[in-house]
Amino acid sequence: MTSSETASRSKAKKPVADPAGRAAELRAQIQHHDYLYHTLDKPEIEDKDYDALFTELKELEQKHPELVTTDSPTQRVGGQVLEAFEKVEHRTPMLSLQNSYNTEDIDAFAERARKELKDLAPEVFDFFCEPKFDGLAIELVYENGVFTRAITRGDGTVGEDVTQNVRTIDSIPLRLKDLHPTLFEVRGEIVMLKEDFRVLNESQQEAGEAPFANPRNAAAGSIRQLDPAIAKARPLRMFAYAPGVLEFGKNPPPKSQSAFETLCATIGLPTVGVANPEESFEAFRERVKQTLELKNTKSGRPKAKPQQLKLARVCKGEHEARLYYDFIQEIRSLLPFDIDGIVVKVNDYRLQEDLGFVARSPRWATAAKFPPEQAETTIERIDIQVGRTGALTPVAVMKPVRVGGVTITNATLHNQDEIDRKEVRVGSRVLVQRAGDVIPEVVKVLEQPENSVPFRIPNECPICGSVAEKPEDEVVLRCVNRKCPAVLKGALKHFVARRAMNVDGLGDKLIDAFVDAGLVKRPSDLYRLTAEKILSLERQGEKSAQNLLESLEASKKSNLARVIFALGIRHVGETTAKSLAKFYGTLDAFLAADEASLLSVPDIGEKMALEIVRVLKDGDLKDEVQLLQQLGVQIEAAKKAMASSAAGGGALGGKKYVITGTLPMGRDEVKDLIESNGGIVLSGVSKKTDFLLAGEEAGSKLQKATELGVAILDWDTFQKQLTTK
């Protein structure tokens, strides 16, 4: 399916003999890659190859509007702003679960089930256990395999139609894979991952907007926006966990909860994953813990993806269900999403039917919730931090306290309005928690010290002493001095980040040292560094200096999206930078952008457009871009890679390559190297592949290339190809 995808860029420019067939093919390819990326976290192709497929489909549908289908990936953009949400009745009620708060209640739940079933009760129950998400409950409706409606839980009987907003969530398939039942209703939870929540709140604060209290509020608030564009801009996820009405026709329906969730994963719906039934509980514990301990080398943050954890498990009897409760509570703070307990269900659907319901809750399920992770401490002082956009953020420095398995000493107070609302003062005795198990926050003040006074954020920058200003329609004060050391340090740390200019070996402490020593006063100064300047700093050796210079040199070859993102324009995140790069194509075109053209760019509203125009009119930014180019930074135009591949020129002459294994350069760099020399990079090996470039620890692609007789290159042979025509 994937062997011709990279070459599809050139197809978009030629007449298509069978538009309907090509559109169907493109939809299938894009949906396949959406599933790999958003559900399995195992992408097979690069972003620009995916974008090329999407662009071709969009152009094809624009030329042939009759080909547009409701399940087309191009229809994720959502519709018009709504005046209100329509009320919709669920075919079967979305019932609530009875809550308990300890493992003894799990025993009581099992005993009640035995009494109700009497002779039908098994000797040992199979309980299906999984984390209880803290998000927004949702029901998705698929008819003949196509997504048609999304309904909130509401009062359990009637919910709100939020189809337009839910359609924008990339992890939700618009068409199910393989299975096409007449009717498939699935219930699940819409959540925001902890890391996404952290990034969202950072952007909220930098934009002068109020931060969200926790991931649940952020997710629920996003889905209940009347403007689908707002929901689309938020990093939302959905996890499926329960059936509604299922009509399979001739196919047999699943007979258990574990079978249902396995089926969901098979047909493309995201779940937390079901553990192998043959895996012992001890092996389950160790596997999950080892996966959670994996960290990203640069950020130090958890590397585990939700689907990799396979957290749902069939537990043998209430004893193992209690062990599951204790284990999930133990690792709760390490999970990538927010939970408030576990759900325990009788696994067998036949037994569920026999147990039935009591009032508005099923007898076959219970929610075993965790106690809240909060603690009391005292605020010793309130510091003011200055971010890269000049935002002054108050931070409470507290006596160390353990919350959720982590010792915390600092908690953001966000802004003056938040301080006033909670009446936070120096010396206050406070209740603290980790919002979304991530960000420490002050919940409330428990006791005020004698003779305490209200805290006011100063009207001058604590770093440079400049007068701080509060822009119109914002809740934060900002330092407007562009030469403020704190603003400069923040801008530099953003500039060198992996998704920006990607300068390895230039960490926060080293940036601080360069600024403090006066060696770097703007981003372009990084490219003026010499070994002598680096060695003038303490604890810098010749080897580390040389490595840094090589990394800076390598970063000079960049693309337009990375450079736009690296410039640190307020409101312009990585996704928006990519949209701007695609729209304008070249740096010169972007620098000349006006408000009218910016409003034509997807995901850009009036506020963002005005801010970008304001920055672009500033001579400092254009001077900085000019300096970067003079110092050797090469900014690849957004369409350059596509053109070189289509042309088939260069040393590689249009040959098709597949990359596998560990090579001396990063995968993206190798791909760029091949395309810049006229080659084409494919994601999978097929008969159309000319060469497999294989590094160490090459896997299944090497075996398939051998079977198909594809030529296999090592790194040295590949280097020789680049130097010969």
**What does pLDDT average to in each consecutive run of 10 residues of the chain (725 residues)?**
43 67 86 72 73 82 80 68 79 85 88 93 94 93 92 89 91 83 91 89 72 83 83 90 88 92 92 94 94 68 76 96 95 89 96 87 91 87 92 94 82 90 95 71 92 92 92 82 92 91 90 94 95 91 92 93 91 82 88 85 78 88 91 77 43 82 74 76 73 80 84 88 74
One-letter amino acid at 194 equals: K
Are residues 723 and 677 in contact, defined by beta-carbon separation less than 8 angstroms?
no
Element (H, E) at 34: helix 19-34
Instruction: Share the mean pLDDT of the chain.
Output: 85
Q: Which domains does the chain have, with CATH numbers?
A: 8-77 (1.10.287.610), 99-369 (3.30.470.30), 374-462 (2.40.50.140), 485-636 (1.10.150.20), 648-723 (3.40.50.10190)
Identified catalytic residue from 42, 63, 87, 132: 132
**Selection from 232, 239, 220, 257 nearest residue 336 by Cα:** 239
Residue 250 bears catalytic tag:
no
Residue 5: per-residue pLDDT: 45
**pLDDT score of 298:** 52
Q: Indicate if the alpha-carbon torsion angle 578, 580, 583, 586 is positive or negative.
A: negative
Report the distance separating Cα 617 and Cα 597, nearest Å: 15
Nearest to 143 by CA among 115, 91, 182: 182
Query: Residue 211: what pLDDT?
Result: 76
pLDDT at 152: 93
Residue 681: Cβ within 10 Å count: 22
Per residue in 440-496, pLDDT (tens digit) is 889 899 999 998 999 999 999 999 999 998 877 777 899 989 889 999 999 999 999
Residue recorded with tokens 């039942």: 181
pLDDT value for 262? 94
Q: In this structure, are residues 604 and 582 in contact, taking their beta carbons and an 8 Å threshold?
A: no
pLDDT at 662: 78
pTM of the model: 0.58
Contact of 571 with 607, CB cutoff 8 Å: yes
Alpha-carbon dihedral angle through residues 192, 153, 169, 367, given to the nearest 10 degrees:
40
The values of phi and psi at residue 200, to 5°, are: -60, -45
| 444 half-sphere exposure, CB direction, 13 A CA radius | 2
3-class SS of residue 345 = strand
